[in-house]
Chain A
Amino acid sequence: MSLDEKLFEIKRKWIPVYFILLIGLIILAIHFILMAYFTNNQDYASFSLLTLVAAGYIGYNLSKFLNTIISKYTTVKLLTCKKCGYSNEDKNVDKEDYVMKEDGICPKCGGKMIIEGIYRIEEKTKPSLLELFGLKKKIRNRFK
């Protein structure tokens, strides 16, 4: 498990706790508001305000968790034809590949292709709610 994965796993464990806390605080705030309305007691109004502030803080943190963006990387090699200059990105990068290595035949002119570059392309994805709550275990594969 990479460092990013482990950090995300640690954060992810807190999502259900934050979610339950948020719901609890909202219920409590509604309760205090209703009590303040029906009893005209100033203390209940103060309690409801404090509870709403706490709910806001928890909600803000939860929204940060829910907006987590995961990067997925794909390594590709850029093949260029020595003769006609045709180029394409190939996802089949072998351990033996290196830049400036001759690799295959050009599909257009039949000339020799050369590896012009090897690099990774980043793709940013947002995990679904099910994945964040641990009900769907696809997150780990996204890092690969």
Chain B
Amino acid sequence: MDGQGIVNTIMTLFLLLIFAYISQELQIWKMVSEIEAYLSIFRTARDHALGVTSNTFKKLLPKSNSSRKIEYEKIKNIDERIQELVDLTIIEPVNLDPYGIVKKIKHIILVTEKTVENEIKIILPNIKKSEIKNLTNLIDATRILNFIYKFLDHNYRIARKFKSLWLLMQIYALLPFITQEVKALENAIEAFNKGLPVGDSVGPLVASKLIKKYSGFENIDTPVEDTVITRVNIDNREIYIVKAQGPGGTTGRLDDAIEWLFNNIGKKFSMIITVDAALKFEGEKSGTITQGFGVAIGGTGVEKFNIEEIASKHNIPLYAILIKMSEIEALSILTKDLYEATEKALNIIERVIRERSVEHDKIILVGVGNTIGIYP
């Protein structure tokens, strides 16, 4: 190989190295610009949610004849209080010794709920209970949007600071899922602000339709906070329908209500049926109904655990009716497809009751989900 040949080989290798470097830099630039664009969108979504929450509070403020300065101070104070509520942090109990952790989680959740509701009552003393519930939902959705933005921004800044391609790649890979969640929460803000049923409300909607169909409105009782229980008769079976108390946005205390039924009605129930919304796979059609075994309740798992405990203790079969939907649909205003699915679910429940029980049986039916915009 002559001198020119060596120079050419070195030059080729050098060019290859430069191309490899440029290609990686281009990849990083593409990822950074896309992450930045999404971060700005998520920030807009968070700010929009904060604006909607703040405006809703201000609209509900009692009208007074006080001076402009006092009114301005009041509004400023409200904005600060809302920011405090949005920045709230819920600290999970320690799980080094998991025994009894469910009780601890439930305690923390109940304390959080009560405190937020009391805070809202202090800011707006003259509003209805259902409005307090809807405002609590609104603050919860804003809090999650705020957390998503802050968490993503934190990771992005760390990745940029240490010029870590792998961290950037992880954020980039998660973007579609985070975007889905942000879209869902953004739609939830609209639904919670207007107090209209969301996709997750299909469970309470089915329960409400059953109550109406079998004239259960007369027997409604509220032995447990935020939860209603009523008794109806379907084909000579005694059905106890349990659902969160509407039309305010709450998921109720379904486990406590079932415990109350066992303590006050008796222990001989032939089955517990739960109706709930479930996440569909991408290829599935919204509103598809599937049946299952077990307790169909999402969330922290506290209620699910407690109902499973009661059912296994008394050897009661657990049946589930699931209405499939996407994450966005679950938090957006109910769609017509999902509304029509509740009619089908009603027929399936009636069939399950007829086929899996005998006359004079006692059955518990639980409408699981947020009962926003649905009475009773």
**Interchain CB contact under 8 A, A119 and B333:** yes
User: What total of A-B pairs shows CB separation below 8 Å?
Assistant: 76
A98 touches which of B44, B183, B373 (Cβ 8 Å): B373
Q: Tell whether, in the assembled complex, residue A10 and residue B373 are in contact, meaning their CB atoms are under 8 Å apart.
A: no
Stretch at the interface among B15-23, B194-202, B309-317: B194-202
Measured between alpha carbons, how far is A117 from B183 in the docked complex, in Å? 24
Quick check: is B339 within 8 A (CB to CB) of the other chain?
Answer: yes
Q: A1-B44, A73-B333 given as contacts; is B339 within 8 A of A117 (CB)? A: yes
Partner of A100, one of B44, B334, B376: B376
The chain A residue sitting closest to B40, CB to CB, is A6
- Interface membership of B272, Cβ < 8 A: no
B374 at the interface (CB under 8 A from A): yes
When distances are taken between beta carbons in the complex, the residues of chain A under 8 Å from B57 are none
State how many angstroms separate the Cβ of B373 from the closest Cβ of chain A.
5
Residues of A within 8 A of B342 (CB): 117
Q: Given the complex, which residues of B lie within 8 Å of A96, measured CB to CB?
A: 195
Q: How many residues of B contact A (CB 8 A)?
A: 30
Residue B54, interface by CB 8 Å:
no
- Tell me the chain A residues, 110-130 only, with Cβ under 8 Å from chain B: 117-122
B208 touching A3 by the CB < 8 A rule? no
Smallest CB separation, B187 vs chain A (Å): 8
Q: Is B278 an interface residue (CB 8 A)?
A: no
Tell me if B45 is interfacial: C-beta within 8 Å of chain A.
yes
Q: Please, which residues of chain A bring their CB within 8 A of the CB of B194?
A: 75, 93, 95
Q: How far is the CB of A57 from chain B (nearest CB, A)?
A: 16
27 contacts between A and B (CB under 8 A): A1-B44, A1-B48, A3-B44, A3-B45, A3-B179, A4-B183, A6-B41, A73-B333, A75-B333, A93-B196, A97-B373, A98-B375, A99-B197, A99-B205, A99-B375, A100-B208, A101-B247, A117-B342, A118-B197, A118-B334, A118-B373, A119-B197, A119-B335, A120-B332, A120-B333, A120-B335, A121-B336
Residues of B within 8 A of A (CB): 37, 41, 44-45, 48, 179, 182-183, 186, 194-197, 205, 208, 212, 246-247, 332-336, 338-339, 342, 373-376
